[in-house]
Amino acid sequence: PEGAHFTFHFWNSDGSTGPMCGNGALCATRLATLIELAPANGEVRFATLVGIHSGRVETGRPQICLPDCELPREIPQTRTDPSEKHPFLVNPSVPHLVLQVERLEAVELERRGPPLRGDPETGEGGANVNWVAAASDGSFRMRTFERGVEGETLACGTGAVACAIVLEQLGLTRPPVRIWTRSGLPLDIGFERTRSAITSITLAGEGRLVYRGVV
Protein backbone atom coordinates (compact mmCIF):
# COMPACT_ATOMS: atom_id res chain seq x y z
CA PRO A 1 0.00 0.00 0.00
CA GLU A 2 0.97 3.62 -0.43
CA GLY A 3 3.34 4.84 2.25
CA ALA A 4 4.64 1.39 3.22
CA HIS A 5 7.76 -0.50 2.14
CA PHE A 6 6.02 -3.86 2.52
CA THR A 7 2.91 -5.60 3.84
CA PHE A 8 3.21 -7.84 6.87
CA HIS A 9 0.87 -10.85 7.24
CA PHE A 10 0.93 -13.09 10.27
CA TRP A 11 -0.62 -16.55 10.63
CA ASN A 12 -0.98 -18.40 13.91
CA SER A 13 -0.08 -22.09 14.16
CA ASP A 14 -3.78 -23.03 14.04
CA GLY A 15 -4.14 -21.29 10.66
CA SER A 16 -5.94 -18.19 11.94
CA THR A 17 -4.67 -14.73 11.07
CA GLY A 18 -3.21 -12.41 13.66
CA PRO A 19 -3.73 -8.65 13.40
CA MET A 20 -0.17 -7.94 14.48
CA CYS A 21 2.84 -9.69 16.02
CA GLY A 22 5.43 -7.61 17.84
CA ASN A 23 8.33 -10.05 17.64
CA GLY A 24 7.40 -10.98 14.08
CA ALA A 25 7.44 -7.30 13.18
CA LEU A 26 10.90 -6.88 14.74
CA CYS A 27 12.17 -9.74 12.58
CA ALA A 28 10.38 -8.45 9.47
CA THR A 29 11.86 -4.98 9.99
CA ARG A 30 15.36 -6.41 10.28
CA LEU A 31 14.88 -8.67 7.26
CA ALA A 32 13.49 -5.83 5.12
CA THR A 33 16.69 -3.84 5.62
CA LEU A 34 18.88 -6.86 4.83
CA ILE A 35 17.14 -7.70 1.54
CA GLU A 36 16.81 -4.02 0.57
CA LEU A 37 13.02 -3.76 0.78
CA ALA A 38 13.58 -0.81 3.11
CA PRO A 39 16.47 1.54 3.93
CA ALA A 40 19.13 0.18 6.25
CA ASN A 41 19.62 3.50 8.03
CA GLY A 42 16.18 5.07 8.00
CA GLU A 43 12.52 4.58 8.81
CA VAL A 44 10.93 1.29 7.80
CA ARG A 45 7.16 1.40 7.23
CA PHE A 46 5.02 -1.74 6.98
CA ALA A 47 1.30 -2.37 6.63
CA THR A 48 -0.61 -4.74 8.93
CA LEU A 49 -4.25 -5.66 9.45
CA VAL A 50 -4.44 -2.92 12.11
CA GLY A 51 -2.77 -0.18 10.08
CA ILE A 52 0.67 1.03 9.08
CA HIS A 53 3.45 0.66 11.62
CA SER A 54 7.01 1.95 11.50
CA GLY A 55 10.39 0.89 12.74
CA ARG A 56 14.12 1.14 12.23
CA VAL A 57 17.31 -0.84 12.83
CA GLU A 58 20.06 0.62 14.99
CA THR A 59 23.39 -1.19 15.39
CA GLY A 60 21.72 -4.38 14.19
CA ARG A 61 18.84 -4.26 16.71
CA PRO A 62 15.35 -3.58 15.34
CA GLN A 63 12.83 -1.31 17.02
CA ILE A 64 9.21 -0.77 16.04
CA CYS A 65 6.65 1.90 16.91
CA LEU A 66 3.09 0.95 17.78
CA PRO A 67 -0.03 3.11 17.38
CA ASP A 68 -1.50 4.84 20.41
CA CYS A 69 -3.78 2.67 22.52
CA GLU A 70 -6.38 3.23 25.20
CA LEU A 71 -5.43 3.19 28.86
CA PRO A 72 -5.48 -0.23 30.54
CA ARG A 73 -8.86 -1.24 31.94
CA GLU A 74 -9.02 -3.21 35.17
CA ILE A 75 -11.44 -6.13 34.96
CA PRO A 76 -11.83 -7.43 38.54
CA GLN A 77 -14.61 -9.86 37.56
CA THR A 78 -12.06 -11.98 35.69
CA ARG A 79 -11.97 -15.52 37.05
CA THR A 80 -8.48 -15.40 38.56
CA ASP A 81 -6.71 -17.75 40.94
CA PRO A 82 -5.67 -16.39 44.36
CA SER A 83 -2.08 -16.03 43.13
CA GLU A 84 -3.10 -13.85 40.15
CA LYS A 85 -3.45 -10.17 41.03
CA HIS A 86 -4.65 -7.02 39.28
CA PRO A 87 -6.21 -8.30 36.03
CA PHE A 88 -6.03 -5.60 33.35
CA LEU A 89 -7.05 -5.58 29.71
CA VAL A 90 -4.98 -3.49 27.28
CA ASN A 91 -4.77 -3.47 23.48
CA PRO A 92 -1.44 -2.38 21.94
CA SER A 93 -2.55 -3.56 18.46
CA VAL A 94 -3.55 -6.95 19.98
CA PRO A 95 -5.77 -7.54 23.06
CA HIS A 96 -3.92 -8.75 26.16
CA LEU A 97 -4.95 -9.79 29.65
CA VAL A 98 -2.17 -9.00 32.13
CA LEU A 99 -1.91 -10.61 35.57
CA GLN A 100 0.68 -9.91 38.23
CA VAL A 101 2.13 -12.90 40.13
CA GLU A 102 4.84 -13.39 42.73
CA ARG A 103 6.28 -16.65 41.40
CA LEU A 104 6.32 -16.91 37.62
CA GLU A 105 7.49 -20.52 37.51
CA ALA A 106 4.58 -21.57 39.71
CA VAL A 107 2.00 -20.51 37.11
CA GLU A 108 0.15 -23.58 35.84
CA LEU A 109 -0.01 -22.12 32.37
CA GLU A 110 -1.62 -25.02 30.53
CA ARG A 111 -4.39 -25.12 33.15
CA ARG A 112 -4.91 -21.39 33.58
CA GLY A 113 -4.39 -20.26 29.99
CA PRO A 114 -7.50 -21.66 28.27
CA PRO A 115 -10.16 -20.30 30.68
CA LEU A 116 -8.49 -16.91 30.96
CA ARG A 117 -7.89 -16.61 27.20
CA GLY A 118 -11.65 -16.89 26.64
CA ASP A 119 -12.85 -15.15 29.80
CA PRO A 120 -16.04 -13.17 29.02
CA GLU A 121 -14.47 -10.03 30.50
CA THR A 122 -11.89 -9.98 27.68
CA GLY A 123 -14.58 -9.48 25.02
CA GLU A 124 -15.38 -11.20 21.75
CA GLY A 125 -12.49 -13.30 20.50
CA GLY A 126 -10.77 -13.37 23.87
CA ALA A 127 -7.23 -12.17 24.51
CA ASN A 128 -3.67 -13.32 24.91
CA VAL A 129 -2.82 -13.94 28.57
CA ASN A 130 0.36 -12.67 30.22
CA TRP A 131 1.69 -13.34 33.71
CA VAL A 132 4.38 -10.92 34.89
CA ALA A 133 6.64 -10.91 37.95
CA ALA A 134 9.40 -8.66 39.23
CA ALA A 135 13.03 -9.68 38.74
CA SER A 136 15.76 -8.92 41.26
CA ASP A 137 17.46 -6.22 39.16
CA GLY A 138 14.47 -3.92 38.70
CA SER A 139 13.40 -5.52 35.41
CA PHE A 140 10.51 -7.97 35.01
CA ARG A 141 9.87 -11.45 33.63
CA MET A 142 6.82 -12.69 31.74
CA ARG A 143 5.12 -15.79 30.40
CA THR A 144 2.44 -15.78 27.69
CA PHE A 145 -0.43 -18.01 26.58
CA GLU A 146 -1.23 -16.93 23.02
CA ARG A 147 -4.43 -17.07 21.03
CA GLY A 148 -4.08 -19.04 17.82
CA VAL A 149 -1.27 -21.05 19.32
CA GLU A 150 -3.41 -22.09 22.31
CA GLY A 151 -0.31 -22.65 24.36
CA GLU A 152 2.81 -20.99 25.72
CA THR A 153 5.17 -19.15 23.39
CA LEU A 154 8.78 -18.19 24.01
CA ALA A 155 8.10 -14.47 23.67
CA CYS A 156 5.34 -12.02 22.85
CA GLY A 157 6.23 -8.50 21.78
CA THR A 158 2.83 -6.85 22.09
CA GLY A 159 2.36 -8.81 25.33
CA ALA A 160 5.56 -7.29 26.74
CA VAL A 161 4.23 -3.85 25.79
CA ALA A 162 0.94 -4.64 27.55
CA CYS A 163 2.78 -5.80 30.68
CA ALA A 164 4.95 -2.68 30.77
CA ILE A 165 1.93 -0.39 30.45
CA VAL A 166 0.05 -2.17 33.24
CA LEU A 167 3.10 -2.22 35.54
CA GLU A 168 3.48 1.52 35.08
CA GLN A 169 -0.20 2.07 35.83
CA LEU A 170 0.22 0.10 39.07
CA GLY A 171 3.13 2.36 40.04
CA LEU A 172 5.70 -0.45 39.90
CA THR A 173 7.97 1.00 37.21
CA ARG A 174 8.46 3.84 34.76
CA PRO A 175 9.48 3.61 31.11
CA PRO A 176 11.75 2.49 29.63
CA VAL A 177 10.92 -1.00 30.91
CA ARG A 178 12.94 -4.18 30.30
CA ILE A 179 11.01 -7.46 30.31
CA TRP A 180 12.67 -10.87 30.04
CA THR A 181 10.78 -13.40 27.97
CA ARG A 182 10.56 -17.17 28.29
CA SER A 183 13.30 -17.46 25.65
CA GLY A 184 15.78 -15.78 27.99
CA LEU A 185 16.09 -12.71 25.75
CA PRO A 186 14.94 -9.22 26.77
CA LEU A 187 12.47 -6.83 25.18
CA ASP A 188 12.71 -3.09 25.86
CA ILE A 189 9.56 -0.99 25.90
CA GLY A 190 9.12 2.77 25.86
CA PHE A 191 5.91 4.82 25.95
CA GLU A 192 4.27 7.97 27.26
CA ARG A 193 0.98 8.35 29.11
CA THR A 194 -1.60 11.09 28.64
CA ARG A 195 -4.91 11.47 30.44
CA SER A 196 -6.69 9.43 27.79
CA ALA A 197 -4.17 7.22 25.99
CA ILE A 198 -0.79 5.51 25.85
CA THR A 199 1.34 7.17 23.18
CA SER A 200 4.82 7.01 21.61
CA ILE A 201 5.00 3.24 22.13
CA THR A 202 8.26 1.57 21.10
CA LEU A 203 9.39 -2.05 21.25
CA ALA A 204 13.00 -3.14 20.73
CA GLY A 205 14.39 -6.67 20.64
CA GLU A 206 16.34 -9.12 18.56
CA GLY A 207 15.92 -9.89 14.87
CA ARG A 208 18.55 -12.49 14.13
CA LEU A 209 19.43 -13.62 10.60
CA VAL A 210 19.47 -17.42 10.86
CA TYR A 211 20.33 -18.37 7.28
CA ARG A 212 20.23 -17.25 3.66
CA GLY A 213 18.97 -19.33 0.75
CA VAL A 214 19.17 -18.89 -3.00
CA VAL A 215 16.59 -20.41 -5.37
Residues marked active site are found at 21, 156
Contact status, residue 137 vs residue 144, Cβ threshold 8 Å:
no
The gap between the terminal CA atoms of the chain, to the nearest Å, is 27
3-class SS of residue 208: coil
CA distances to 86, 160, 208 from 9, in Å: 33, 20, 19
Contact status, residue 32 vs residue 5, Cβ threshold 8 Å:
yes
Q: What is the DSSP secondary-structure string of 30-80? A: HHHHHTTSS-TTS-EEEEETTEEEEEEEETTEEEEEE--EEPPEE-TTS--
Length of the chain: 215
For the chain, state the CA radius of gyration.
17
20 Cβ contact partners less than 8 Å away, ≥ 6 residues apart: 10, 48, 49, 50, 53, 93, 94, 158
Task: To the nearest 10°, report the CA torsion of 15, 19, 22, 24.
Answer: 40
